[in-house]
Amino acid sequence: MLPAKLEKIAARSKQLQELLADPAVFGNPGRYKELAKEESELAGIVELYLHYKKIQEQIRGNEELLHGDNDPELVEMASIELKELQAKSTELEEEIKYQMLPRDPRDSRNAVIEIRAGTGGEEAGLFAGELFRMYQRLAERNQWKVEVLSSNPQGIGGVREIIFLVTGKQAYGTLKYEGGVHRVQRVPVTEASGRIHTSAASVAVLPEAEELDIQIDPHDLRIDVFRSSGPGGQSVNTTDSAVRITHIPTGMVVTCQDEKSQHKNKAKALKVLRARLYEKASDEEQEKLSAERRSMVSTGDRSAKIRTYNYPQNRVTDHRIGLTLYRLEEILLGDLDEFISHLQLVDRSEQLKAMT
């Protein structure tokens, strides 16, 4: 079944290459872009398939040597090489199957991340602030841009809530595994007795939505403006620049007060609202299309505890995949690559199991 599908893909790839060389197609930018995108998506699969076919030829050659009347030393060498080729063949089959899996079109989008302090009072706010800075550093490592859309500061370095946009290649596809409850275990700076406390912060990761994705009827919105305030209730601006938008049909509320301009705050609040409505619509569509259990790795329950940061033991544990790393400081500096790559691998394995 697999070779038959791959032959069709290879034939389609060749057809696309011919179409892209056609002057009539080249003269139609929209059509050319559409076909080029499809050809680019198939190119990787075709390359793997050609390699796979070459391996199969080598396997057949070694099997013939084993069954022929050949020198014992040559037979032994062929036997060793055959095992290596069969292992490589299996590995390529798995990679091809993965490449043929339907891609989540949202993965290439920018990401809207919402971090909220949970249980633990002021300590939870400090931890939420540290998570934000961790993602800032991760963004720097990936050459992504971070723009704060809304924030509610708490004390020195802490936040009750912060919402920000991460712009860059595969931002959502990489960061979507971060959604859930993050827990910290350490001695707070305010703790005189030296006892270890446990605090938490929740992280939600949403794909950024474009205006074309979600049409918002202005009549469905209630927009309130007020004077923004900072920690302790002191006034930040002397004008009514803060904006609170309520989406009446869903009851969703977004508040933004970071900018001095009411217009800018409204634009940022609408960006967050659009992302939330887009995710809600996407989740509902997925429920309609499939009755399969949603993967806890990539789209798990936001109330689920996903990761613990333990300061005394210098360890970080991801509970979804049972991975513990003893380098907390590096992770807080944005080095999340090992966690993300393992989560992607498990997610991939789940998808392959579902396909078979």
* All structural domains of the chain with their residue ranges: 2-100, 105-290+298-351
When pLDDT is averaged across residues 69-94 and rounded to a whole number, the result is 88
Q: How confident is the model at residue 178 (pLDDT cuts 50, 70, 90)?
A: very high
Q: How confident is the model at residue 323 (pLDDT cuts 50, 70, 90)?
A: very high
> Would you state the pLDDT for residue 302?
53
Q: How confident is the model at residue 185 (pLDDT cuts 50, 70, 90)?
A: very high
Q: Is residue 190 predicted with pLDDT exceeding 70?
A: no
When pLDDT is averaged across residues 8-18 and rounded to a whole number, the result is 92
> Would you state the pLDDT for residue 193?
72
The rounded percent of the chain whose pLDDT value lies above 90 is: 41
> Would you state the pLDDT for residue 51?
92
SS3 210: coil
The pLDDT mean for the chain works out to 85
When pLDDT is averaged across residues 216-222 and rounded to a whole number, the result is 87
Greater confidence, 343 or 283?
343
> Would you state the pLDDT for residue 239?
63
> Would you state the pLDDT for residue 192?
64
> Would you state the pLDDT for residue 183?
95
Residue matched to tokens 């199991």: 353
Is the torsion defined by CA of 180, 128, 201, 269 positive or negative? negative
Q: Is residue 236 predicted with pLDDT exceeding 70?
A: no
Number of residues that this document lists for the chain: 356
> Would you state the pLDDT for residue 291?
41
- What is the C-alpha to C-alpha distance for residues 267 and 250, in angstroms, rounded to an integer? 19
Greater confidence, 349 or 8?
8
SS3 137: helix
* Pairing mode, strands 305-310 and 180-186: parallel
Span 263-321, pLDDT tens digits: 888 888 888 888 888 888 877 766 654 543 355 455 444 567 999 999 999 999 999 99
Which backbone phi and psi does 217 adopt, to 5 degrees? -75, 120
> Would you state the pLDDT for residue 300?
42
pTM given for the model:
0.68
Phi-psi region of 38 (alpha: psi -120 to 50; beta: other; left: phi over 0): alpha
Task: Give the helix/strand (H/E) hosting 40.
Answer: helix 29-67
Distances (CA, A) of 307 to 206, 310, 343: 19, 10, 12
When pLDDT is averaged across residues 33-62 and rounded to a whole number, the result is 90
Query: Which range among 30-39, 244-253, 301-310, 327-336 shows the weakest confidence by mean pLDDT?
Result: 301-310
The rounded percent of the chain whose pLDDT value lies above 70 is: 88
When pLDDT is averaged across residues 158-186 and rounded to a whole number, the result is 93
Of the options 1.20.58, 1.10.10, 3.40.50, 2.60.300, the CATH number for the domain spanning 2-100: 1.20.58
SS3 75: helix
Residue matched to tokens 């380098």: 327
Q: Are the C-beta atoms of residues 162 and 128 closer than 8 Å to each other? A: yes
Q: Is residue 232 predicted with pLDDT exceeding 70?
A: no
Q: How confident is the model at residue 233 (pLDDT cuts 50, 70, 90)?
A: very low
Residue matched to tokens 């249980």: 119
105-290+298-351 — its CATH code?
3.30.70.1660
When pLDDT is averaged across residues 54-75 and rounded to a whole number, the result is 86
